[in-house]
């Protein structure tokens, strides 16, 4: 794989571009939910990064984004910056982004190796399918972190007296996000499939395919040998 053969100019450019995409996704107007968890387009950007770049470049892009934010660039949700964001209620989601992008990148690379991304009929559906894996990966880190930092229960304790009785890790950190997250994964899968059609060598599939094309004279010599 090209992305495992050293640091190339293309890899550096892709990492920088997608780190910028993740940062730009926080500039889209958002809805702040109970508990301080913001609803942004970050999920779309994170999923797209993993599906397009593969594991190592996706990891580098998300790490670059987080590093810039931690040193003071106001590129987190709500224009926040600094390490204080990591220790806040949404810090777990940032860690979940790293996990999700890396895992999706590895799964997308498997699809490329099997030639799935070159098959127009199933490439989009396959990318959307593996993209959905990002949702539990982000939640499995983000929601327990939210519960830990806010002191709310993981599960709702009942809603008989007041709305606040329903506040829990699940009702605040999962349920409000699910419909939007699914839609964003579908959109990211569609865009990623289009990118792979336009640039089929991003995950190395084109290079492997070309390496299997044998010179006709060599093939003839091998046959007669």
Range 161-183 average pLDDT = 79
Checking if the pLDDT of 31 tops 70, the result is no
Separation CA 112–CA 185 (nearest Å): 19
Where residue 215 falls among pLDDT bands split at 50, 70, 90?
very low
Average pLDDT, the chain: 84
* DSSP-assigned beta bridge partners for residue 111: none
- Largest Cα span, the chain: 86
- Rg value, the chain, Cα: 21
Q: What are the residues whose beta carbons fall under 8 Å from the beta carbon of 4, sequence distance 6 or more?
A: 56
Where residue 77 falls among pLDDT bands split at 50, 70, 90?
confident
Predicted pLDDT at 35: 56
Checking if the pLDDT of 74 tops 70, the result is yes
Which pair of structure tokens corresponds to residue 213? 């094309």
Predicted pLDDT at 165: 54
Predicted pLDDT at 6: 53
CB 61 within 8 Å of CB 18:
yes
Read off the pTM.
0.83
Checking if the pLDDT of 158 tops 90, the result is no
pLDDT > 70 in the chain, percent: 79
Q: What does each C-alpha distance from 181 to 39, 56, 223 come to in angstroms?
A: 9, 24, 54
Domains and CATH numbers, the chain: 9-224 (1.10.1760.20)
Q: What is the pLDDT of residues 93-106, one digit of tens each?
A: 999 999 999 999 99
């Amino acid at each position: 794989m090209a992305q495992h053969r050293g640091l190339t100019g293309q890899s550096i450019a892709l990492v920088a571009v997608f780190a910028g995409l993740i940062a730009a996704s926080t500039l889209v107007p958002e809805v702040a939910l109970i508990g301080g968890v913001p609803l942004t387009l970050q999920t779309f950007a994170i999923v797209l990064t993993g599906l397009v770049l593969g594991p190592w470049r996706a990891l580098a892009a998300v790490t670059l984004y987080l590093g810039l934010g931690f040193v003071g660039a106001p590129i987190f949700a709500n224009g926040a910056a600094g390490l204080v964001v990591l220790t806040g209620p949404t810090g777990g989601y940032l860690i979940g982004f790293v996990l999700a992008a890396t895992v999706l990148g590895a799964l997308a690379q498997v699809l490329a190796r099997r030639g799935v991304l070159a098959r127009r009929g199933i490439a989009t559906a396959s990318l959307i399918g593996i993209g959905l894996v990002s949702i539990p990966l982000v939640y499995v880190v983000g929601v327990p972190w939210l519960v830990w930092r806010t002191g709310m229960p993981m599960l709702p304790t009942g809603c008989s007296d007041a709305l606040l009785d329903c506040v829990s890790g699940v009702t605040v950190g999962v349920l409000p996000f699910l419909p939007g997250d699914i839609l964003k994964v579908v959109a990211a899968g569609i865009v990623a499939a289009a990118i792979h059609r336009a640039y089929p060598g991003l995950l190395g599939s084109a290079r492997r395919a070309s390496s299997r094309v044998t010179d006709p004279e060599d093939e003839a010599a091998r046959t007669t040998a």
